Amino acid sequence: MAVSGIVMVLYLIVHMIGNLKAFSGAEAFNSYSGWIRTVGNPALPGATTLWVIRIVLLVAVVAHFWAAISLWRQAKRARPQGYVTKKPVAQSYASRTMRWGGVIVGLFIVYHVLDLTLGVANPEGYDSTPYERLVASFSNPFATAFYIIALVLLGMHLRHGIWSATQTLGQSNKRRERTVNAFALVFSVVLIGGFLLTPFAVLFGVID
């Protein structure tokens, strides 16, 4: 769970920074999108690097999902009967919503690829530039609302996930817990804040 999560977080850092190219205008954004498809050329043919990234990501998503299901099964086996009374314990909202938050983020990724990569769920369609698809998508308040909800859920998922990963990988102890929690919060806010800049910029006409 932790290792596949780290692979996805590394992708998200690069993806969020790349999205900021939208603030440099249509030409810069579209040529960035073209560059992603030709990284490593001519040593590597065509979009080899992009396909390697896609395969690594897909393996990480499947591994993450598979690990989540086996953890859930393990928890169920450990306590097949539900609690008669459930005393509220100090649990964050994020930790209680890891499963459903994860499912919604998964559905968001499917929609997102259909929207901005393939264009089939985008008003501009496939026969358009990535910049046109981006602006068209965030000009639709329903699509933008879905993006914002999914990003906020992703932020909560990440915050709790980073904390859990440090426990799994043995990087945390009682003394370090506060630092880890603060880091997880700041990291998630900066990452999601960076992602949110683009839809809000379209919404307020900064990007058009």
* Residue 146 within binding range of ligand HEM, rule CB under 6 A: no
Lookup result for tokens 């817990």: 177
The SS3 of residue 1 is coil
Helical residues (DSSP H) of 39-97, grouped into ranges: 48-78, 93-96
Find the binder of ligand HEM among 19, 49, 95, 139 (CB under 6 A): 19
Figure out which of the listed residues 130, 132, 156, 166 binds ligand HEM, where binding follows CB under 6 A.
Answer: 130
Q: Does residue 112 touch ligand HEM according to CB under 6 A?
A: yes
Closest Cα to residue 137, out of 113, 154, 107?
Answer: 113
3-state secondary structure labels for all residues of 162-198: HHHHHHHCCCCCHHHHHHHHHHHHHHHHHHHHHHHHH
User: 107: Cβ–Cβ under 8 A, 6 or more apart, which residues?
Assistant: none
Binding to ligand HEM, residues 51-80 (CB under 6 A): 54, 57
Out of 147, 158, 162, 184, which residue is the one contacting ligand HEM (CB under 6 A)? 147
Residue 74 Cβ vs ligand HEM, minimum distance, rounded to whole Å = 26
- Considering CB under 6 A, how many residues would be counted as binding ligand HEM? 21
Q: Which residues of this protein are in contact with ligand HEM, per CB under 6 A?
A: 12, 15, 19, 33, 36, 54, 57, 105, 109, 112-113, 116-117, 130, 134, 147, 151, 154, 195, 198-199
